[in-house]
Chain A
Amino acid sequence: MLRRSRLLGGVAASVLAAFSVAHAADHQEGTLVVALETLGGQTMDPILEDRAPHAHYQAPIFDALIGFNLEKGGLGPGVTEKWELAEDGLSWFFHLQKGLKWHNGDPLTAHDVKFSLERTMSEESLSSRAAALRRNVKSIEVVDDHTVRVYTKGVQVHFPAGLSRAVFQEGQLMPKNYIESMGVEKFRSDPVGSGPWKFVESVPGDYVEFEAVEGPHWRGTPNFKRLRILLVPEESTRVAMVRTGEAAIASISPESIREVEAANLKLISVPATMQAIYQFWGMYKDSQKDSPLADVRVREALSLAIDRQQIIDHVMYGQARWPMPFATFPYAVDTDIEKWQAWGREALRYDPERAKELLAEAGYPDGFDMKFANTALPGTPYMTQIGIAVADFWQKIGVNVDIKHYEWGAFRLLYRGEQKSLTGAASMFRTAGRPVAVARYSGGFTSKGGHHLFGEEGNCNDFCQAYDKLHQEVVTAQDAELRAQKTDEMLTMVADSWIAVPIIEGMGYWAINPEKVGAFKPIPGRHEFGDVFERMPRPDQKPW
């Protein structure tokens, strides 16, 4: 079952390649200008960049081992046409596309893949998952020029997902020959990749510029001759630039949706790029035994008090969706999507009457006092507004909410170590769109995870231990059916705990000037356009 779907993916890739070849006859002209709120560190080396910036301006240059399902979101073929788990479950095979070339003309082979993975895992790498890769990978073997075999430590059923640009950056491929012969410094100042765009220049704090490859490219052959990504920190300025035509595309937040529509620009909302959530910290600790929030009925009541439709309609200006369970999206693997969408509509409904009943049952008919830490990740400023709206809904059922704002960097300090100032409090949080929920659950709920919402090492009660065990079963289940069943149990356990609760499923928002770029479709779940630029038509061309 699993293997057949991968093969189908391979077929899709060939169809796509044929499609691109057909388009390659078109000439390339003009410059596509994109204005972004951040360019991250503007490093051109894949092992030095964070996830979001890499997907904006490294993706045009570099291909990833595993790519996207362009229609649905989630995983699809990349440089690897198909991938499969060995019978014993202890190694993965990656079968590469044939005939790929680096920008300097060298062929792209399995040696480059081995080199890239090893470089990503190395000590000099700043990839966030470098440590995890080191923990999970035993060795990498080049079987032949187009086959790589990765031996893992134990069974790693979700290993390939970690090499897809659908969420991660660790699957990016770098040219072995070029780096070894020219040196790392040369590679950083003058990177060579295999993507549809060649690097031209990068002016720090200002812009990055690319030039289209001439021949056909399997990801799509660019219609524009040049691509220029500008750093424009202020949102009002970005919107103005799209209006004047100085930029064709600009990233925006929901707050600008009205401006964009009033100016007759086009709005593109990339579905399912994130989930805004709130979560309760340290509820497992002895000190929280008598806290109202320790009662699961109270936590459910707080969810029922939130009118999510109002948040979608008014805070998100209609451009958001009803959420599924924690960290799951319509393109999630191993998940019964319909069942859980139905669950979301029912369990996450707005029902203040029931909320008050539950509060009364729990012994708090007149409400109680609680602390709420509001925060927003860089790039998602609207999280603060969602947080304010949520606090207001809680106030309305009689809960006295003490809301405090934290800048993201300051907030992250709070949940290190003993989580003293967060224990017993709720906070805003979010999760990025991702096809494999379990990796996010690991950070959130296992006793070893960064948040350890269910318990921590040395203080892991029965519930916490049961979860840890279940989690282990999910990540090692080789059989697809068993894995789906265990994933279902995992979702249920977290959903019923009401400890980390989804608020809305957010989107990625872009303002588009239709006179500067033609119609195109984003990839569901991937906010950034680094893998879409090559397919964007010029304004006079057919929509993609």
Chain B
Amino acid sequence: MRHLPLASFAIIGTMVFVAVFAPWLTPHSPIDQSLPDKLLPPFWEEGGSTEYLLGTDIFGRDLLTRLFYGARVSLIVTALALTVGGGVGLVLGIVSGYVGGKLDAFLMRVVDAAFAFPTILFALLLAVTMGQGMDTLVIALSLFLWAGFARVIRGEVLAIKQRDFVALARVHGSSPARIMFVHILPNVLNTFMVLLTLNVGVIIVAEASLSFLGAGVPPPTPSWGLMVAEGRGKITSAWWLSLIPGIAITLVVLSFNLFGDWLRDRLDPKLRQL
């Protein structure tokens, strides 16, 4: 049994904390500009100042402040997209795998359709139709997620339903709903968790890619992905613009992954039996 991943908790906790309390943590605004102060380096570099600890961006906005508020935006977007996309995928995957037959065939064709339709293009189309915004982004990212979840979970369920304990439950007269959500669900949670943790990173990065293509969170709202995308042209002259939010993304994604591993150990029914 693994130890509690304290470092991960600390990092995720910090992210949530700065996201929630951003306005009280910094004297600066994430949006108001101070053009003469543009592109100041972090305080430890020559020319940096302690007023802007991590330096400023192209509009002279405090990078640390934008990082705090960006955490807020990135967290909300990730949580909503995972809830909607992952949830729909989980339920459809279980139902499709267990019920089988025509329903399965139909649902899997819909999943195929979702794959056949490059979701990033759908996100782009949405962004140009509805205008850029958080709502558009969440819809696009959910569409990006659900089919993948459904397909993998369904694959797992196909294998699980051959197992003895499912047959046993059926013999005992459990309703299909009960079998699916009491007996099968715990057995796919393992995979579901792996997918969730894997997808925190995928979502944050997909959001960055959408920003790169001009369909992410609309500026001046800060999000971590947008910050990396906006700073990409200044890797040599103002490295902090993209590297600092990039490191933040890596730390948080790493933490979510370690956290997911730990959760997996806790939730996996087989491991508990041992």
Contact = CB atoms under 8 A, between A and B. Distances in A.
Direct contact of A and B (CB under 8 A): yes
Contact of B131 (A235, A255, A313, A405): A405
10 contacts: A235-B233, A258-B237, A313-B36, A315-B35, A388-B220, A392-B31, A404-B131, A404-B218, A406-B131, A410-B128
B237 A392 contact: no
Contact of B233 (A259, A314, A388): A259
Contact of A410 (B36, B58, B129): B129
A384 interface: yes
Given A310-B35, A384-B219, A407 B214 contact: yes
Contacts of B35: 307, 310-311, 313-315, 389
Contacts of A465: none
Given A389-B33, A405-B131, A262 B237 contact: yes
A410 B31 CA distance: 25
A407 B236 CA distance: 29
Contact of A389 (B59, B128, B218, B238): B59
Contact of B59 (A262, A307, A388, A407): A388
Contacts of A541: none
Given A262-B237, A406-B131, A392 B33 contact: yes
B263 to A, nearest CB: 38
B197 to A, nearest CB: 31
A385 interface: yes
Nearest to B31: A392
Nearest to B234: A259
Contact of A407 (B128, B233, B237, B238): B128
Contacts of B234: 255, 258-259
A106 B235 CA distance: 53
Interface of A: 235-236, 239, 255-256, 258-259, 262-263, 307, 310-311, 313-315, 384-385, 388-389, 392, 395, 403-407, 409-410
Nearest to A260: B237
Nearest to B127: A407
Contact of A385 (B58, B60, B129, B215): B58
Contacts of A392: 31-33, 59
B38 interface: yes
Nearest to A257: B237
Contacts of A263: 236
Contacts, number: 66
A255 B36 contact: no
Contacts of A314: 35-36, 38, 59-60
Query: Which label, helix, strand, loop or mixed, suits the secondary structure of the A interface?
Result: helix
A348 B128 CA distance: 34
Given A314-B38, A407-B214, A410-B129, A259 B236 contact: yes
B183 interface: no
B232 interface: yes
A405 B33 contact: no
B8 interface: no
B257 interface: no
Interface string B237-248: 110000000000
Interface residues of B, number: 27
Contacts of A389: 33, 35, 59
Interface string B117-141: 0000000000111011000000000
Contacts of A307: 35
Nearest to B37: A314
A243 to B, nearest CB: 9
Nearest to A314: B35
Contacts of B129: 410
Top 9 nearest A-B pairs by Cβ distance?
A314-B35, A405-B218, A392-B33, A310-B35, A258-B237, A410-B128, A236-B233, A407-B128, A259-B237
Most chain A beta carbons < 10 A, residue from B60, B128, B215, B235: B128
Interface string B10-40: 0000000000000000000001110110110
Given A388-B59, A407-B214, A310 B236 contact: no
Contact of A388 (B39, B219, B237): B219
Most interface-central of B36, B58, B215 (chain A CB within 10 A):
B58
Contacts of B127: 407
A404 B35 CA distance: 21
B209 to A, nearest CB: 13
B232 A255 contact: no
Interface in B103-161: 127-129, 131-132
Contacts of A313: 35-36
A295 to B, nearest CB: 26
Nearest to A310: B35
A61 to B, nearest CB: 32
Contacts of A407: 127-128, 132, 214-215
Given A259-B236, A262-B236, A406-B131, 11 more contacts: A236-B232, A236-B235, A258-B234, A313-B36, A314-B60, A315-B35, A315-B58, A389-B33, A405-B218, A407-B215, A410-B128
A410 B131 contact: yes
A310 B233 contact: no
Nearest to B212: A234
Interface in B210-238: 214-215, 218-220, 232-238
B233 A256 contact: yes
